[in-house]
Amino acid sequence: MYAVAIRGVGMTRFGKFPSRTMKDLATEAAILALKDAGVTGAEIGAVFSSNSLAGLLTGQESVRAQTVLGPLGLAGITVVNVENACASGSTAFTLAVQAVRHAEARYALALGFEKMAIGDTGRTVAAIATGRDVEESAGEAGWTFMDGYAQKVRHHMEVTGTTVEDFAAVAVKNRRHAALNPCAQYRDLVTVADVLGSRPVVAPLTQLMCAPITDGAAAIVVGPADATSPVVAASVLRSGSDPGTEAVTAVAMAAYERAGIGPDEIGVAEVHDAASPAELIAYEELLFAAPGAGVGLLRSGATEIGGRLPVNPSGGLVSRGHPIGATGLAMLHEVALQLRGEAGARQVNCRSGLVYNAGGLVNDAPAAVAVHVLRNP
Catalytic sites, residue numbers: 86, 322
Q: Could you say which of 223, 277, 294, 359 contacts its own copies (CB under 8 A)?
A: 359
Does 320 sit near its own copies (CB under 8 A)? no
Shortest distance (Å) from residue 129 CB to its own copies: 9
Shortest distance (Å) from residue 152 CB to its own copies: 18
Number of C-beta neighbours around residue 238 at 10 A = 18
Does 250 sit near its own copies (CB under 8 A)? yes
Q: Could you say which of 42, 75, 159, 189 contacts its own copies (CB under 8 A)?
A: 75
Closest CA to 209 of 157, 124, 149: 149
Q: Which is nearer to its own copies, 204 or 359 (CB)?
A: 359
| Residues in region 29-68 near its own copies by CB under 8 A | 47, 52-53, 55-56, 58-64, 66-67
Q: Could you say which of 69, 96, 280, 332 contacts its own copies (CB under 8 A)?
A: 69
User: CA distances (Å), 134 to each of 2, 29, 144, in order?
Assistant: 40, 32, 11
Q: Which is nearer to its own copies, 58 or 207 (CB)?
A: 58
Question: Helices 88-101 and 324-340: crossing angle, nearest 10°?
Answer: 60
Range in contact with its own copies (rule: CB under 8 A) among 166-174, 289-297, 346-354, 357-365: 357-365
Count of residues in contact with its own copies, rule CB under 8 A: 60
Q: Which residues contact 167 (CB under 8 A, 6 or more apart)?
A: 153, 204, 209, 276, 277, 280
Range in contact with its own copies (rule: CB under 8 A) among 79-87, 166-174, 181-189, 348-356: 79-87
Does 240 sit near its own copies (CB under 8 A)? yes
Which SS3 state, helix, strand or coil, does residue 265 take? Answer: helix
* DSSP per-residue letters across 159-198: HH---HHHHHHHHHHHHHHHTT-TT-S--S---HHHHHHS
Shortest distance (Å) from residue 348 CB to its own copies: 30
27: region left, alpha or beta (phi > 0 left; psi from -120 to 50 alpha): alpha
- Could you give the string, one character per residue 116-145, with x where binding to its own copies holds by CB under 8 A and - elsewhere? -----------x--xxxxxx----------
Does 253 sit near its own copies (CB under 8 A)? no
Q: Which is nearer to its own copies, 58 or 376 (CB)?
A: 58
Does 94 sit near its own copies (CB under 8 A)? yes
Taken in order 173, 179, 181, 185, the sign of the CA dihedral is positive
Residue 303 · residue 310 · CB < 8 Å: yes
42: region left, alpha or beta (phi > 0 left; psi from -120 to 50 alpha): alpha
Q: Which is nearer to its own copies, 287 or 362 (CB)?
A: 362
CA 261/CA 308 separation, integer angstroms = 16
Does 245 sit near its own copies (CB under 8 A)? no
Shortest distance (Å) from residue 236 CB to its own copies: 8
Taken in order 246, 251, 253, 254, the sign of the CA dihedral is positive
Q: Which is nearer to its own copies, 145 or 186 (CB)?
A: 145
Q: Give the pairing of strands 216-224 and 4-11.
A: antiparallel
Q: Which is nearer to its own copies, 46 or 171 (CB)?
A: 46
Residue 34 · residue 258 · CB < 8 Å: no
Does 360 sit near its own copies (CB under 8 A)? yes
User: CA distances (Å), 252 to each of 179, 186, 231, 371, in order?
Assistant: 29, 29, 17, 6
Q: Could you say which of 74, 248, 275, 278 contacts its own copies (CB under 8 A)?
A: 74
CA 5/CA 3 separation, integer angstroms = 7
Which SS3 state, helix, strand or coil, does residue 335 take? Answer: helix
Shortest distance (Å) from residue 49 CB to its own copies: 9
Range in contact with its own copies (rule: CB under 8 A) among 33-41, 78-86, 304-312, 331-339: 78-86
Contact set with its own copies (CB under 8 A)? 1, 23, 47, 52-53, 55-56, 58-64, 66-67, 69-70, 74-85, 91, 94-95, 98-99, 101-102, 104, 127, 130-135, 237-242, 247, 250, 359-360, 362-363, 365, 367-368
